[in-house]
C-alpha cells in the first residue's frame, strides 16, 4: 500500500510544474550558499596564510640580514631595529594570533564576519589588541551572509510550506480523500507519504548537493561533520514536515493552511528570534563601549601619571625581574609596567563584559528553545567553528599568548638593560638583543575547542514527535464518523 | 458610487477577524520597537555627550607637555545620533562610532556594537525599521490577499460587476481601505516624528529629514497596498494570490538584499585590514619619504640661507613633523580613497538592486534620512579626519614657532590645548548627500509606477471579469 | 427489465441526526435489497446527503441503526467501506493522472488485485472512449469521470453502490449511458441507493422510489406503482404537505 501511495504521489508531483521549480530552487540555493560561504572562508584562509607567511618570512629575513646588522657602523634607530627587543615588543614584531576557518566553515558563517580572526600581536594593552577588526562593508554585516545555514533555516521551510501546505487539504476539498477513504485507504498513511515525499523533494536535493560540494571543495572535511550537518538539517526539516502535517490534519482549506504555516514561519524564524534578541539585550545590556573607552583613557592617564609607582608595583608583582633589574629603569620597562597597570585597572570592567556576555548566553541558552530557528542556528554556527564557543577558546589562547609575549619581553628587556645592551657606549648603536626571531613565543593555532553540544536537538525531536502524535489523532478524527459537521 | 463601495469594503474588512488580530500584533510590535529604539537612542546620546565632555576635559587638563606628546595623546571623537536613529538605527551597530584622532595615524571607527552581540543577534533586532520594512508588507498582504480573489471564489465579484459597479472604483476602494488600515499602523511613527520636532536645536534640518522619512514609508505602504490588491485581482484563487504575494515578499525582503550585497562584495573586494595596514606602513615609511624629508630640509636651509637646522628661525623638528604629517596625509588620502571607492562601488551596486527589490530602496532611504547609513558615516569620518589634521597642524606649528625659543625641552600648556576647538559633528543636510541616493529614489518611483501599471492591468482584466 | 429483489444489503432503521440548529433526519428507515435500485427523492435539505454520509461512515447518527451487508458504520467503518462504493455528483479524481491510473490507484487502495489489462477492460466495459484511457483526467467531461467512478465501483466488486445526484449536469445521452451502466450493476446483484432530483431517471431506473421530506420517509413507491402513477404529482403532493 505504501509503495502504491508513494508511486501515485510521486507521479502527481512529477507532473506538477511547481515541483521542478522547487527542486531547481533547492539545488540553486544550495549551490549559491555554498559558493558564497566557500569564498568567504577562503578569503579568511588567505589572510591567515598571509599572516603566517609574513611571520615566517620575517624570521628568515632577520636570520639572513643579521650579519649585515652586526657589521653596520651606520646609526640605527632602536625603534626600527628588528634585532632590538624593545622595537620588537612595541613596534616591529610580526607575530600573529590566528583563528583559521575550519573546513566546515561555509555551513554557517555566523559571527565569523564580525568577530576578529587574527591579531597582530605587540606588547601593548590587550584592550588595544582585541579591538582590532577586519574592515568590511557594514551593510554586509547588517544583511548577513548567504550561507547554507541561511538557506536551511530561512528558505527551505518556505519551500517546504510551499509544497506541503495543500498536502491533504487538496484531496479533502477536491473530494479525492472521500473516495480514498471509501476505498479503505488510511488518511494517516496518505498524509505521511505526501509530506515525507514532498519534504524529501525539497530537502534531499539540498542535502545531496551541499554535501557533494563540501566534499569536493573543502579539503579535510570530516565525514562526522557532514553527518552531523545532514542530521541537523534533517531534524530541522522534520520539524517543518511535522508542522505541515499537523496543520493539514486540522482539515482547513489550503489557503488557511498556507496562512497558518506562513504565520508559524514568520513567528519562528523572524519575529521570535528578534524578540528574544531584544529581550536579552535589554535584560542584560552590554555596558556602553563609549564608557569603556572613557575608562580605558582614564586608566591610561592614571597609570602614566604614576609611572614610577606603577613600575614599583610591577616589580612587586614580578620579583623575579626585580632581582635582576638594573638600578635605573628604562623606557621599555616602564612602558611594560604601565601596560600591566592599565590591564589591571581595566580587568574589572573586562570581567564585567564577560559576566554580561555569560548572563546573555545563559538566557539565550534557554530562550533559544522558543524558536526552532535559533536553536538550529546556534548548533550550526558552533558546528562550523564560527560560534562563540570556538571564538572564546581562541580569545583565551590569544590572552595566554599575549601574556607569554609580555613575560618574554619584560624579562628580556630587563636583562638587556642590566647588561647595558641598550646603550653600550655613548652615541653608539644598541647591541642586538634578539637575533633569532623564531625564539619569540608563537601562537598555537591548535587551541582546544569544547565539542558541540547536540543535546538541544532533542527538543526538535520532541516537538516533532508531539506534532506527529497530534497529527495522527487529528487524522483519526478525520477518517471516523463526525458528530457535528462533515470534514471530509 | 465610490463612497458606497468604500463603505462596503471597509465594513467587509472590519468584520474579518484576522484583521484585528494582525493589526493588534503589528501595533504592539511597533510600539515595543519604538520604545526600545527610543531607550537605546537616549542612552547612546547621553553616553556620547558625557564621554565627549570628559574627553574634552581630559584634553584641556592634560597638563604641560610637548605639543607632539599631546598629538600622540590625541582625542577620541564620537559620532552623535539624530533622533531618527530611534526609528532606524541602520548601520549604527555595524560601524565603529568612536574614532581616535592622533599623530601619524588615520584610524577607523572603534568598537562596533555588533562585536559584543551573541550570534543570535544576526537574526535581527526588533527595531521600528525592521517592523516597517519587513513585517508591515507582510501584514498588508495577509490582510489584502483575499480582497478580490475570495470575492471571485464566492461569486460575489461577478454579481457586483454585473450590477454596474465601475471596476476602477471597486479597485480603488479596495486599495484605499487596505492603504488606510496599513497607514494607521504608522501612527506611532507619526507621533514620534512630531514629538522629536520639539526641543531640537536644528529643527529645520530635522523636520525635512522627518518629512522625507515619512514620505518613504507612506510610499512603501501605498506600493504594497496596490501590488497586493492587483495580485488578488489578477489571480484566480485566494490560494494563488497568497502564494504569489508571499513569493514577492520573500524575494524582496529576504533573498535579493542578501544576494545583492554578497554579490557586491565579491565584485568589488576589499583588502583585509592586515593587508591594508601593511600597505599603509609600506607606503608611508619608505625611502622616498626619507628623501622627501631631506629635500624639505635642504629647501629650508636654502630658503633661509643657513647651513644647519639649528640656525633656522624656528624649530625644525616642528616643521618636519608637519611636513611628515602632510606627506602621510597624501598617502592616506590615496589609500583610504581607494578603499572608500571600493566601498562606494559596493554600496552603489547594492543600491542598484533596489530596481529588483523595493525594500532595498526604502531601507537605503530610511537609513539615509536617519543619518545612520554608510554615506553619513563616511561624512562623519571625513570631518573627524579634517579635525585630526587641523589638530596636528596647530600642534606642529606651535612647536615650530615656539620650541626654538626655549632652552631644553619645550612644553606647551592649556593655552595651546584651548586653541583646538572641541569637535562638534553636525550631520550634513540631507540635500548635500542626496546625490548618493538617486538610484533609490528612481527605483522607489519606478516601483510605484510599476504597481500603478499592474493596477491598471488588473482593472482592465476586471472589466472583462463577467466574461471569464 | 428489472430483476426480482433479494435479501437486504442496506438497512436504515429509525435514523435520527440533529445538528446544532436543525434536525436533519427524524427517524428515517429504509432498506435496499440485493440487485435493487432505490431512488431517494426529496427537496433540498430533506436529509438525503446526511443519510448518505451516515451510511458512508462520515457522520455519526444520534439514534438509529444502519447496516451495510451486515456491518454497522458506527462500529465497523472499515468493513462497511469494503462493502460499498460511492459515486458523487462530481467524481473526484486526480486531474494529473489518466483515467487508467486513477482506476488502478483507487482499486489498489481497496486491495483489488488486477492486472493493467483488466483495468483497461473495465474502462472498456463502462464505455470510456479508448483514446481517453491514457489521457489526464483534467481533460475529461463529467460523464467520462462518472464512467471512471463506476469502473472503480465495478473493480471493487462492492455489494452496495451509493450515488449522490449522479446524473445532475449530464447531457441526456450521457445520462442514458449512465443509467444503462447502473442497471447492469443491479443485474449483477449490487444494491444501489441513488439520491436524486431527477424524477425521470428515478422512474426509469429504480425498482422503488423513496420520497423523504424533513428527514422522514413519507412514501415508498414500487416499480409496479411507478408505472401506474404520476411520480411528479406524488412528489409534489408530499413536498407541499411537508412545507
Is B74 in a helix, a strand, or coil? coil
Tell me what pLDDT residue B15 has: 72
- Residue B164 scores a pLDDT above 80: no
Q: What residues contact A269, with CB distance under 8 A and at least 6 apart? A: A153, A154, A157, A371, A373, B123
Tell me what pLDDT residue A484 has: 67
Tell me what pLDDT residue A325 has: 45
Domain boundaries, position C34: 8-94+158-223+235-242
Q: Does A162 touch chain B (CB under 8 A)?
A: yes
In chain A, residues with a C-beta closer than 8 Å to the C-beta of B135 are 266, 270-271
User: pLDDT tens for residues A165-184?
Assistant: 888 888 888 888 888 888 88
Min Cα separation B172/chain A (Å): 25
- Segment among A308-317, B185-194, B232-241, B440-449 with least mean pLDDT: A308-317
- Segment among A313-327, B188-202, B294-308, B371-385 with least mean pLDDT: A313-327
Q: Is the dihedral of CA B240, B245, B251, B253 positive or negative?
A: negative
Q: Given an 8 Å threshold on Cβ–Cβ distance, is B261 in contact with A140?
A: yes
Chain C residue set in contact with A, beta carbons under 8 Å:
19-20, 53-54, 56-60, 73-74, 77-78, 81-82, 84-86, 88, 90-94, 96-97, 101, 105-111, 136, 152, 156
* Mean pLDDT of the region B364-373: 95
Tell me what pLDDT residue B236 has: 84
Distances (CA, A) of C221 to A33, A242, A259, C40, C203: 73, 53, 51, 11, 10
Provide the grid cell at A15: 507532473
Sole residue written with cell 506538477: A16
* Mean pLDDT of the region C169-195: 87
Q: Largest Cα–Cα distance in chain C?
A: 54
In chain B, residues with a C-beta closer than 8 Å to the C-beta of A298 are 58
Identify which of C49, C239, C67 has the alpha carbon closest to the alpha carbon of residue C163: C49
Tell me what pLDDT residue B98 has: 93
Are the C-beta atoms of C182 and C161 separated by less than 8 Å? yes
In chain C, residues with a C-beta closer than 8 Å to the C-beta of A175 are 88, 90-92
From the list B138, B242, B346, the residue facing A137 with the nearest CB is B346
**Neighbouring subunits of C (3+ Cβ pairs under 8 A):** A
**Neighbouring subunits of B (3+ Cβ pairs under 8 A):** A
Min Cα separation A160/chain B (Å): 13
Sole residue written with cell 530561512: A154
Q: Given an 8 Å threshold on Cβ–Cβ distance, is B142 in contact with A259?
A: yes
Sole residue written with cell 461569486: B155
Tell me what pLDDT residue B137 has: 95
Question: What DSSP line would sit under A311-373, residue for residue?
Answer: HHHHHHH-HHHHTT--SS--HHHHHHHHHHHHHHHHHHHHHHHHHHHHHHHHHHHHHGGG-HH
Domain count for chain B: 1
C81 vs B457: which has the higher pLDDT: B457
Min Cα separation A256/chain B (Å): 8
User: pLDDT tens for residues A67-123?
Assistant: 998 888 888 888 888 899 999 999 889 999 999 999 999 999 998 999 899 999 999
Are the C-beta atoms of B389 and B325 separated by less than 8 Å? yes
> What own/partner pairs with CB < 8 Å and gap ≥ 24 does B354-358 have?
B354/B439, B354/B440, B354/B443, B354/B444, B355/B439, B355/B443, B355/B446, B356/B251, B356/B252, B356/B256, B356/B260, B357/B251, B357/B252, B357/B253, B357/B256, B357/B257, B357/B260, B358/B220, B358/B223, B358/B252, B358/B443, B358/B444, B358/B447
Q: What residues contact B412, with CB distance under 8 A and at least 6 apart? A: B64, B65, B66, B67, B70, B395, B398, B399, B402
From the list A12, A16, A481, the residue facing C59 with the nearest CB is A481
This prediction's pTM: 0.88
The b-or-e profile of A111-129 (16+ CB within 10 A means b, else e) is bbbbbbbbbbbbbbbbbeb
Residues β-bridged to residue B78: B98
How far apart CA B242 and CA B248 sit, in angstroms, is 10
Q: What residues contact B221, with CB distance under 8 A and at least 6 apart? A: B136, B140, B179, B182, B183, B186
Is C67 in a helix, a strand, or coil? strand
Q: Given an 8 Å threshold on Cβ–Cβ distance, is B119 in contact with A388?
A: yes
Q: Grade residue A443 by pLDDT with cuts at 50, 70 and 90.
A: very high
For C91, nearest residue in chain A (alpha carbons) = A175
Q: Grade residue C2 by pLDDT with cuts at 50, 70 and 90.
A: very low
In chain A, residues with a C-beta closer than 8 Å to the C-beta of C75 are none
Is B236 in a helix, a strand, or coil? coil
> What Rg, from alpha-carbon coordinates, does chain A have?
31
- Residue B146 scores a pLDDT above 90: no
User: pLDDT tens for residues B227-281?
Assistant: 999 999 999 888 788 889 999 999 999 999 999 999 999 999 998 888 898 888 8
Distances (CA, A) of C52 to A145, A181, B140, C149: 58, 15, 43, 17
Are the C-beta atoms of A460 and A376 separated by less than 8 Å? yes
For A48, nearest residue in chain B (alpha carbons) = B274
- Residue B217 scores a pLDDT above 90: yes
B115, B116, B122, B124: CA torsion to nearest 10? -120
Identify which of C115, C26, C106, C103 has the alpha carbon closest to the alpha carbon of residue C63: C26
From the list B116, B272, B273, the residue facing A286 with the nearest CB is B116
How far apart CA A242 and CA A192 sit, in angstroms, is 9
How far apart CA C238 and CA A28 sit, in angstroms, is 67
How far apart CA A166 and CA B146 sit, in angstroms, is 17
- Residue B10 scores a pLDDT above 90: no
Residues β-bridged to residue B65: B412
Min Cα separation C107/chain A (Å): 7
- Residue A474 scores a pLDDT above 60: yes
CA C81 to chain centroid, in Å, comes to 13
Tell me what pLDDT residue C199 has: 83
- Residue A328 scores a pLDDT above 50: no
Tell me what pLDDT residue C228 has: 60
Highest mean pLDDT among A192-196, A285-289, B8-12: A192-196
Is B14 in a helix, a strand, or coil? helix
- Count of CB atoms within 10 A of residue C151's CB? 26
- Residue C58 scores a pLDDT above 60: yes
How far apart CA A416 and CA A323 sit, in angstroms, is 14
Strands C8-18 and C63-68: antiparallel
- Residue A267 scores a pLDDT above 50: yes
- Count of CB atoms within 10 A of residue B98's CB? 24
Average pLDDT for chain A = 88
Tell me what pLDDT residue B240 has: 83
- Residue B381 scores a pLDDT above 90: yes
* Mean pLDDT of the region A458-483: 89
- Count of CB atoms within 10 A of residue A365's CB? 12
Q: What percent of chain A has pLDDT over 90?
A: 50
Tell me what pLDDT residue B455 has: 96
- Is C100 part of any domain? no
Identify which of A49, A112, A100 has the alpha carbon closest to the alpha carbon of residue A397: A100
Identify which of B277, B253, B263 has the alpha carbon closest to the alpha carbon of residue B356: B253
Q: What percent of chain B has pLDDT over 90?
A: 61
How far apart CA A122 and CA C106 sit, in angstroms, is 77
Are the C-beta atoms of C204 and C183 separated by less than 8 Å? no
Q: Could you tell me the CATH number of the domain that includes residue C197? A: 3.40.50.300
- Residue B141 scores a pLDDT above 60: yes
Q: Is residue B76 within a helix (H) or strand (E), and if so which, with residue range? A: strand B75-78
A36 vs A324: which has the higher pLDDT: A36
How far apart CA A214 and CA B47 sit, in angstroms, is 46
From the list A1, A184, A481, the residue facing C74 with the nearest CB is A481
Q: What residues contact B370, with CB distance under 8 A and at least 6 apart? A: B82, B84, B85, B87, B88, B89, B90, B209, B213
How far apart CA B120 and CA B126 sit, in angstroms, is 13
CA B6 to chain centroid, in Å, comes to 39
CA B363 to chain centroid, in Å, comes to 8
From the list B243, B262, B270, the residue facing A36 with the nearest CB is B262
Q: Largest Cα–Cα distance in chain B?
A: 105
Tell me what pLDDT residue A327 has: 43
Min Cα separation A243/chain C (Å): 25
- Is C85 part of any domain? yes
- Residue C57 scores a pLDDT above 60: yes
Tell me what pLDDT residue C3 has: 46
Domain boundaries, position B193: 2-467
Q: Given an 8 Å threshold on Cβ–Cβ distance, is C77 in contact with A481?
A: yes
How far apart CA C103 and CA A321 sit, in angstroms, is 94
Sole residue written with cell 600642534: B395
Min Cα separation A240/chain B (Å): 18
Q: Grade residue B13 by pLDDT with cuts at 50, 70 and 90.
A: confident
A324 vs C165: which has the higher pLDDT: C165
For B341, nearest residue in chain A (alpha carbons) = A137
Tell me what pLDDT residue A326 has: 46
User: pLDDT tens for residues B100-126?
Assistant: 999 999 998 888 888 888 888 888 888
- Segment among B215-229, B254-268, C106-120 with least mean pLDDT: C106-120
**Neighbouring subunits of A (3+ Cβ pairs under 8 A):** B, C
Domain count for chain C: 1
Q: What residues contact B154, with CB distance under 8 A and at least 6 apart? A: none
- Count of CB atoms within 10 A of residue A268's CB? 22
8-state DSSP, B411: -
CA B425 to chain centroid, in Å, comes to 16
In chain C, residues with a C-beta closer than 8 Å to the C-beta of A5 are 109
Q: What residues contact B103, with CB distance under 8 A and at least 6 apart? A: B68, B71, B72, B74, B321, B325, B392, B395
Identify which of B256, B273, B264, B432 has the alpha carbon closest to the alpha carbon of residue B344: B264
How far apart CA C143 and CA C166 sit, in angstroms, is 9
Are the C-beta atoms of C180 and C24 separated by less than 8 Å? no
Tell which phi-psi region holds residue B155, choosing left (phi > 0), alpha (psi between -120 and 50) or beta: left
Strands C191-196 and B105-106: unpaired
- Residue C1 scores a pLDDT above 50: no
How far apart CA A201 and CA A189 sit, in angstroms, is 18
A67, A69, A72, A73: CA torsion to nearest 10? -140
For A11, nearest residue in chain C (alpha carbons) = C97
Amino acid at each position: 500500500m505504501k509503495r502504491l501511495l508513494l508511486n501515485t504521489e510521486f507521479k502527481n508531483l512529477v507532473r506538477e510544474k511547481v515541483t521542478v521549480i522547487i527542486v531547481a530552487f533547492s539545488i540553486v540555493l544550495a549551490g549559491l550558499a555554498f559558493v558564497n560561504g566557500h569564498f568567504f572562508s577562503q578569503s579568511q584562509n588567505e589572510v591567515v596564510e598571509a599572516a603566517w607567511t609574513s611571520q615566517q618570512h620575517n624570521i628568515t629575513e632577520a636570520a639572513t640580514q643579521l650579519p649585515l646588522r652586526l657589521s653596520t657602523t651606520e646609526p640605527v634607530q632602536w625603534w626600527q631595529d628588528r634585532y632590538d627587543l624593545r622595537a620588537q615588543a612595541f613596534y616591529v614584531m610580526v607575530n600573529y594570533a590566528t583563528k583559521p576557518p575550519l573546513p566546515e566553515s561555509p555551513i554557517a558563517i555566523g559571527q565569523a564576519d564580525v568577530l576578529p580572526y587574527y591579531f597582530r600581536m605587540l606588547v601593548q594593552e590587550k584592550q588595544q589588541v582585541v579591538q582590532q577588526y577586519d574592515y568590511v562593508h557594514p551593510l554586509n554585516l547588517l544583511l548577513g551572509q548567504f550561507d547554507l545555514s541561511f538557506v536551511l533555516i530561512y528558505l527551505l521551510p518556505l519551500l517546504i510550506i510551499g509544497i506541503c501546505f495543500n498536502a491533504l487539504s487538496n484531496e479533502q476539498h477536491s473530494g479525492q480523500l472521500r473516495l480514498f477513504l471509501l476505498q479503505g485507504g488510511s488518511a494517516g498513511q496518505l498524509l505521511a507519504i505526501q509530506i515525507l515525499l514532498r519534504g524529501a523533494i525539497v530537502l534531499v536535493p539540498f542535502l545531496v548537493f551541499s554535501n557533494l560540494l563540501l566534499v569536493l571543495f573543502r579539503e579535510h572535511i570530516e565525514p562526522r561533520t557532514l553527518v552531523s550537518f545532514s542530521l541537523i538539517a534533517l531534524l530541522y526539516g522534520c520539524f517543518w514536515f511535522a508542522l505541515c502535517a499537523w496543520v493539514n490534519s486540522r482539515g482547513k482549506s489550503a489557503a488557511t493552511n498556507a496562512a497558518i504555516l506562513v504565520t508559524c514561519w514568520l513567528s519562528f524564524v523572524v519575529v521570535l528570534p528578534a524578540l528574544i534578541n531584544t529581550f536579552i539585550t535589554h535584560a542584560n545590556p552590554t555596558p556602553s563601549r563609549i564608557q569603556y573607552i572613557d575608562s580605558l583613557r582614564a586608566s591610561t592617564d592614571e597609570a602614566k601619571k604614576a609611572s614610577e609607582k606603577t613600575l614599583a608595583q610591577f616589580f612587586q608583582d614580578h620579583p623575579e625581574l626585580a632581582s635582576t633589574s638594573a638600578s635605573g629603569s628604562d623606557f621599555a620597562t616602564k612602558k611594560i609596567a604601565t601596560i600591566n597597570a592599565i590591564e589591571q585597572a581595566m580587568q574589572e570592567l573586562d570581567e564585567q563584559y564577560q559576566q554580561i556576555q555569560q548572563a546573555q548566553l545563559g538566557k539565550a541558552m534557554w530562550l533559544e528553545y522558543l524558536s526552532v530557528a535559533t536553536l538550529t542556528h546556534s548548533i550550526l554556527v558552533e558546528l562550523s567553528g564560527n560560534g562563540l564557543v570556538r571564538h572564546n577558546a581562541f580569545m583565551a589562547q590569544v590572552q595566554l599568548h599575549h601574556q607569554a609575549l609580555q613575560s618574554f619581553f619584560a624579562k628580556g628587556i630587563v636583562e638587556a638593560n642590566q647588561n647595558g645592551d641598550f646603550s653600550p657606549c655613548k652615541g653608539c648603536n644598541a647591541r642586538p638583543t634578539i637575533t633569532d626571531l623564531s625564539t619569540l613565543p608563537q601562537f598555537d593555532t591548535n587551541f582546544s575547542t569544547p565539542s558541540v553540544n547536540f543535546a538541544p536537538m532533542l527538543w526538535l525531536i520532541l516537538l516533532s514527535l508531539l506534532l506527529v502524535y497530534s497529527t495522527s489523532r487529528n487524522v483519526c478524527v478525520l477518517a471516523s464518523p463526525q458528530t457535528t459537521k462533515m470534514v471530509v | 458610487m465610490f463612497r458606497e463601495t468604500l463603505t462596503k469594503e471597509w465594513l467587509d474588512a472590519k468584520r474579518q477577524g484576522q484583521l484585528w488580530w494582525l493589526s493588534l500584533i503589528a501595533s504592539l510590535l511597533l510600539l515595543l520597537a519604538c520604545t526600545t529604539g527610543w531607550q537605546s537612542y537616549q542612552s547612546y546620546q547621553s553616553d556620547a555627550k558625557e564621554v565627549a565632555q570628559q574627553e574634552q576635559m581630559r584634553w584641556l587638563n592634560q597638563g604641560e607637555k610637548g605639543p607632539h606628546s599631546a598629538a600622540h595623546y590625541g582625542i577620541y571623537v564620537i559620532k552623535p545620533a539624530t533622533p531618527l536613529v530611534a526609528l532606524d538605527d541602520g548601520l549604527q551597530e555595524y560601524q565603529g562610532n568612536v574614532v581616535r584622532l592622533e599623530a601619524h595615524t588615520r584610524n577607523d571607527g572603534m568598537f562596533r556594537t555588533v562585536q559584543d552581540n551573541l550570534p543570535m543577534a544576526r537574526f535581527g533586532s526588533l527595531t521600528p525599521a525592521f517592523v516597517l520594512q519587513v513585517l508591515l508588507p507582510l501584514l498588508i498582504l495577509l490582510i489584502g490577499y483575499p480582497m478580490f480573489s475570495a470575492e471571485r471564489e464566492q461569486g460575489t465579484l461577478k454579481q457586483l460587476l454585473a450590477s454596474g459597479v465601475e471596476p476602477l472604483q471597486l479597485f480603488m476602494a479596495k486599495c484605499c481601505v487596505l492603504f488606510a488600515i496599513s497607514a494607521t499602523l504608522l501612527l506611532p511613527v507619526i507621533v514620534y516624528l512630531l514629538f522629536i520636532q520639539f526641543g531640537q536645536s536644528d529643527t529645520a534640518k530635522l523636520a525635512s529629514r522627518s518629512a522625507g522619512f515619512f514620505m518613504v514609508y507612506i510610499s512603501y505602504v501605498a506600493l504594497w497596498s496596490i501590488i497586493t490588491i492587483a495580485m488578488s485581482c489578477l489571480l484566480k484563487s485566494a490560494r494563488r494570490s497568497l502564494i504569489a504575494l508571499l513569493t514577492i515578499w520573500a524575494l524582496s525582503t529576504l533573498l535579493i538584499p542578501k544576494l545583492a550585497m554578497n554579490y557586491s562584495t565579491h565584485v568589488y573586494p576589499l583588502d583585509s585590514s592586515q593587508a591594508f595596514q601593511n600597505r599603509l606602513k609600506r607606503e608611508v615609511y619608505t625611502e622616498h619619504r626619507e628623501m622627501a624629508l631631506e629635500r624639505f630640509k635642504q629647501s629650508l636651509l636654502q630658503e633661509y640661507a643657513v647651513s644647519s637646522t639649528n640656525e633656522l628661525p624656528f624649530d625644525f623638528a616642528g616643521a618636519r613633523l608637519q611636513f611628515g604629517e602632510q606627506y602621510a596625509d597624501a598617502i592616506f588620502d590615496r589609500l583610504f580613497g581607494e578603499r572608500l571607492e571600493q566601498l562606494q562601488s559596493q554600496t552603489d551596486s547594492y543600491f542598484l538592486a533596489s530596481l529588483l527589490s523595493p525594500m532595498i530602496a526604502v531601507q537605503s532611504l530610511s537609513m539615509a534620512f536617519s543619518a545612520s547609513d554608510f554615506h553619513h558615516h563616511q561624512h562623519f569620518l571625513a570631518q573627524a579626519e579634517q579635525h585630526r589634521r587641523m589638530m596636528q597642524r596647530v600642534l606642529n606649528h606651535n612647536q615650530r614657532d615656539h620650541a626654538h625659543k626655549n632652552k631644553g625641552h619645550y612644553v606647551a600648556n592649556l593655552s595651546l590645548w584651548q586653541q583646538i576647538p572641541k569637535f562638534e559633528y553636525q550631520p550634513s543636510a540631507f540635500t548635500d548627500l542626496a546625490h548618493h541616493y538617486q538610484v533609490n529614489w528612481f527605483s522607489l518611483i519606478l516601483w510605484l509606477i510599476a504597481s500603478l501599471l499592474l493596477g491598471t492591468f488588473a482593472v482592465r482584466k476586471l472589466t472583462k471579469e463577467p466574461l471569464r | 427489465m428489472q430483476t426480482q429483489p433479494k435479501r437486504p444489503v442496506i438497512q436504515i432503521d429509525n435514523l435520527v441526526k440533529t445538528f446544532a440548529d436543525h434536525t436533519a433526519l427524524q427517524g428515517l428507515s429504509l432498506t435496499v435489497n440485493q440487485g435493487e435500485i432505490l431512488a431517494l427523492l426529496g427537496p433540498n435539505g430533506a436529509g438525503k446527503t446526511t443519510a448518505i454520509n451516515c451510511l458512508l461512515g462520515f457522520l455519526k447518527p444520534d439514534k438509529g441503526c444502519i447496516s451495510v451487508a451486515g456491518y454497522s458504520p458506527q462500529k465497523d467503518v472499515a468493513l462497511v467501506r469494503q462493502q460499498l462504493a460511492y459515486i458523487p455528483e462530481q467524481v473526484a479524481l486526480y486531474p494529473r493522472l489518466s483515467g487508467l491510473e486513477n482506476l488502478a490507484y483507487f482499486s489498489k487502495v481497496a486491495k483489488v488485485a488486477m492486472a493493467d489489462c483488466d483495468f483497461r477492460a473495465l474502462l472498456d466495459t463502462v464505455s470510456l472512449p479508448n483514446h481517453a484511457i491514457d489521457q489526464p483526467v483534467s481533460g475529461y467531461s463529467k460523464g467520462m469521470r462518472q464512467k471512471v467512478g463506476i469502473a472503480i465501483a465495478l473493480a471493487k466488486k462492492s455489494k452496495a453502490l451509493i450515488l449522490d445526484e449522479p446524473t445532475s449536469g449530464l447531457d441526456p445521452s450521457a445520462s442514458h449511458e449512465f443509467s444503462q451502466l447502473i442497471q447492469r450493476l443491479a443485474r449483477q446483484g449490487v444494491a444501489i441507493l441513488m439520491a436524486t432530483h431527477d424524477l425521470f431517471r428515478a422512474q426509469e431506473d429504480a425498482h422503488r422510489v423513496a420520497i423523504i421530506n424533513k428527514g422522514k420517509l413519507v412514501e415508498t413507491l414500487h416499480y409496479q406503482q411507478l408505472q401506474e402513477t404520476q411520480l411528479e404529482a406524488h412528489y409534489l403532493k408530499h413536498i407541499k404537505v411537508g412545507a
